[in-house]
């Protein structure tokens, strides 16, 4: 039972909130050398009450180790028995009040003037105050009481704070890219195609919202696989050795059975025969375009790119299964002699197209080679006009993948304007890219 009482402690009056466990009395005056356990105590019965508002003592209030007895209060105080064990015992000459550990003392008046001066000196540190109001919007989130509207919720992100506000900035910058008819570069890593974002990327290409795609070799391989064989949902917490025995590859919580790559190998060998038939050395963009023309899946990024004349650049084409199978293909007796991949021609084309563009905008989902290829080739034109990064990369390791857009400004790869023209959403792409697309691109569809 919680009681409130007023006690005197070293000359200062205190309001105390106490949970009284028990009260006991000694029949004889307290010997200062006695321990509590040595006193003949008589505990009150369970259910007895205690007049908590009554003053129970004056002078110095102490614990078990305190040897200074205080004035004996009136008889008749009683207590109840909460279940928790006690840690503190406060006593008068004959009366013992045992309190639970949660008891607190809240001083409301300090008699020592030195403490008052200390309070005056420290108060400004604790509550410094402010001289002027901040000229900025109020922090306020979306109000769900009037139903739900996605567009209104995304607008409310601007004043929600943290990464929601960065996402609202990203939506605004992408809308300005569209208003300025910018040449839009979309860069992404292979995990985007591994996940359900493949369909979102295909939408952007199909609807004409992006003009250049730069990605990794894993994206190319997995986009082709998914035209025939789906990936499966799995678990983050899995027995990796067991998965290996079963022929299952894990990508986070996505499973890719190895038979997908067996199928891909045979598919690419047939494609290589046709692709290198007339020319032995080809570019990655030619590889992606001709591969996309063979596919028959409306959700394929390569197919939509080929159908809509959007170039797909893959500077590190050999850095995945495509490279593995090219290696094996060249060892075959029936393979064309001298086949190879030339990357410099694509790099030159990227630079030239950037130089010819009046305005450029970048949407970089993840980091790595695709992101840097976009900003590096924009360096030749004095930097990209707009940039939106979606990344979980950490700036502290100094890597390109973790570098925010303002670092690219220092290199001249992104232009600095008076109005905010770049931002970074520090979040995992599957959470925020659909919202970015919904807010900046899909609303008018």
How buried is residue 214: exposed, middle or buried, by Cβ count under 10 Å (0-12/13-18/19+)?
Answer: buried
The one catalytic residue in 226, 303, 371, 413 is 413
Confidence band, pLDDT 50/70/90 cuts, at residue 113: low
Phi, psi of 50 (to 5 degrees): -135, 125
The first and second tokens of residue 409, run together, are: 């400004």
Host domain of residue 185: 146-442
Q: Domain boundary at 107, 131, 161, which? A: 107
Q: Is the pLDDT of residue 101 over 50?
A: no
Q: Are 390 and 429 in contact (CB under 8 A)?
A: yes
How far out from the chain centre does Cα 37 lie?
A: 56
pLDDT for 337 equals 84
Locus of tokens 């952007």: 204
One domain for residues 232 and 295: yes
pLDDT above 70 coverage of the chain, percent: 72
Asked, for residue 128, whether it belongs to a domain, the answer is: no
Q: Mean pLDDT across the chain, nearest whole number?
A: 81
Residue 36 scores a pLDDT above 90: no
Region 361-381 average pLDDT: 97
Same domain as 309, residue 397: yes
pLDDT at 185: 98
Q: Global pTM?
A: 0.74
Query: 202 with 280, same domain?
Result: yes
Residues 103 and 153 in one domain: no
**How far is CA 318 from each of CA 77, 100, 284, 324, rounded to the nearest angstrom?**
87, 70, 9, 7
> What span, in angstroms and rounded, lies between the C-alpha atoms of 425 and 392?
8
Structure tokens at 239: 């027995």
How many other β-carbons are positioned within 10 Å of the β-carbon of residue 315? 19
Cα 128 from chain centre: 32
Phi-psi region of 139 (alpha: psi -120 to 50; beta: other; left: phi over 0): beta
Phi, psi of 439 (to 5 degrees): -80, -35
- For residue 67, give both structure tokens: 């040897």
Q: Using CA atoms, how far apart are residues 425 and 164, in angstroms rounded to an integer?
A: 8
Give first-to-last CA distance, the chain, whole Å.
64
8 A C-beta contact, residue 196 and residue 299: no
Angle between helices 198-206 and 217-226 (to 10 degrees): 90
Residues 312, 421 within the same domain: yes
Q: Residue 63: is its pLDDT beyond 90?
A: no
For 29, which DSSP code? P
| Total domains present in the chain | 2
pLDDT of residue 126: 86
Q: Three-state SS for 196?
A: coil
Whose tokens are 């000459």? That residue is 93
Predicted confidence (pLDDT) at residue 289 exceeds the cutoff of 80:
yes
10-29: average pLDDT: 39
Helix (H) or strand (E) holding 325, with range, is helix 321-331
Note whether 252 and 399 are same-domain residues.
yes
165 & 100 share domain? no
Residue 417 sits in the same domain as residue 289: yes
- Please spell the DSSP secondary structure of 58-116, one letter per residue: -S----TT---------S-------SSPP-EEEE-SSEEEEE-TT-EEEES----HHHH
Residue 121 has a pLDDT of 75
By three-state DSSP, how is residue 262 classified? helix
Q: Per the domain annotation, does 122 fall within a domain?
A: no
Q: Do the Cβ atoms of 297 and 227 come closer than 8 Å?
A: yes
| Tokens at 123, concatenated | 């108060």
Provide the pLDDT for residue 333: 85
- In a domain, residue 50? The reply is yes
Average pLDDT over residues 288-298: 98
For residues 70 and 160, membership in a common domain is answered with no
Q: What is the dihedral of CA 120, 124, 127, 131, to 10 degrees?
A: 130
Alpha-carbon distances of 72 from 140, 181, 200, rounded to whole Å: 59, 89, 80
CA distance 412 to 406: 10
Residue 225 belongs to a domain with what CATH number?
A: 3.40.910.10
Report how far residue 222's alpha carbon sits from residue 244's, in angstroms, rounded to the nearest whole number.
19
pLDDT for 31 beyond 80: no
Asked whether residue 335 is domain-assigned, the answer is yes
| Pairwise CA distance, residues 254 & 145, whole Å | 37
The answer on 83 and 24 residing in a single domain is yes
Has 303 been annotated as catalytic? no
- pLDDT band of residue 94 (cuts 50, 70, 90) is very low
More confident residue, 125 or 420: 420
| 229 in a structural domain | yes
Domain boundary among 107, 138, 161: 107
Q: Is residue 351 included in any domain, yes or no?
A: yes
Note whether residue 141 is domain-resident.
no
Q: Are residues 319 and 376 in the same domain?
A: yes
For residues 413 and 422, the answer to whether their CB atoms sit within 8 Å is: no
The pLDDT of residue 79 is 37
Q: Is residue 115 part of a domain?
A: no
Residue 438: which pLDDT band, with cuts at 50, 70 and 90?
A: very high
Q: Are residues 50 and 190 in the same domain?
A: no
């Amino acid at each position: 039972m919680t009681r409130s009482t007023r006690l005197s402690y070293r000359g200062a009056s205190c309001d105390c909130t106490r949970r009284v466990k028990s009260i006991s009395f000694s029949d004889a005056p307290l010997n200062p050398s006695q321990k509590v356990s040595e006193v003949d105590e008589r505990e009150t019965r369970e259910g007895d009450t205690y007049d908590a508002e009554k003053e129970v003592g004056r002078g110095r209030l102490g614990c078990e180790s305190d040897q200074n007895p205080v004035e004996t209060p009136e008889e008749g105080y009683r207590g109840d028995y909460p279940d928790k064990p006690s840690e503190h015992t406060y006593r008068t000459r004959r009366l013992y009040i045992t309190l639970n550990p949660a008891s607190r003392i809240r001083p409301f008046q300090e008699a020592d003037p030195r403490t008052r001066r200390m309070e005056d000196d420290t108060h400004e540190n604790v509550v410094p105050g402010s001289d002027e109001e901040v000229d900025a919007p109020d922090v306020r989130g979306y109000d769900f009481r009037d139903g739900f509207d996605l567009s209104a919720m995304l607008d409310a992100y601007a004043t929600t704070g943290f990464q929601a506000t960065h996402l609202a900035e990203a939506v605004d910058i992408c809308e300005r890219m569209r208003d300025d008819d910018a040449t839009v570069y979309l860069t992404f890593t292979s995990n985007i195609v591994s996940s359900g974002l493949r369909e979102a990327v295909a939408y952007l290409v199909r609807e004409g919202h992006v003009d250049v795609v730069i990605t990794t070799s894993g994206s190319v391989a997995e986009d082709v696989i998914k035209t025939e064989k789906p990936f499966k949902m799995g678990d983050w917490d899995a027995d990796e050795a067991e998965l290996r025995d079963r022929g299952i590859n894990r990508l986070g919580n996505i499973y890719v059975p190895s038979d997908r790559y067996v199928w891909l190998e045979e598919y690419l060998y047939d494609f290589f025969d046709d692709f290198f038939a007339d020319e032995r050395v080809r570019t990655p963009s030619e590889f992606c375009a001709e591969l996309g023309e063979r596919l028959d899946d409306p959700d394929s990024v390569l197919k939509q790119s080929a159908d809509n004349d959007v170039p797909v650049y893959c500077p590190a084409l050999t850095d995945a299964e495509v490279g593995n199978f090219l290696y094996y293909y060249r060892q075959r007796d029936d393979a064309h002699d001298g086949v190879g991949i030339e990357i410099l021609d694509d790099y030159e084309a990227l630079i030239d197209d950037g130089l010819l563009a009046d305005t450029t905008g970048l949407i970089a989902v993840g980091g790595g080679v695709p992101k840097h290829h976009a900003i590096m080739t924009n360096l030749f034109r004095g930097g990209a006009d707009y940039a939106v990064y979606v990344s979980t990369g950490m700036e502290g390791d100094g890597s390109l993948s973790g570098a925010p857009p303002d670092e690219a400004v220092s290199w001249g790869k992104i232009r600095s304007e008076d109005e905010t023209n770049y931002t970074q959403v520090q979040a995992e792409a599957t959470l925020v890219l659909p919202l970015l697309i919904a807010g900046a691109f899909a609303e008018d569809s």
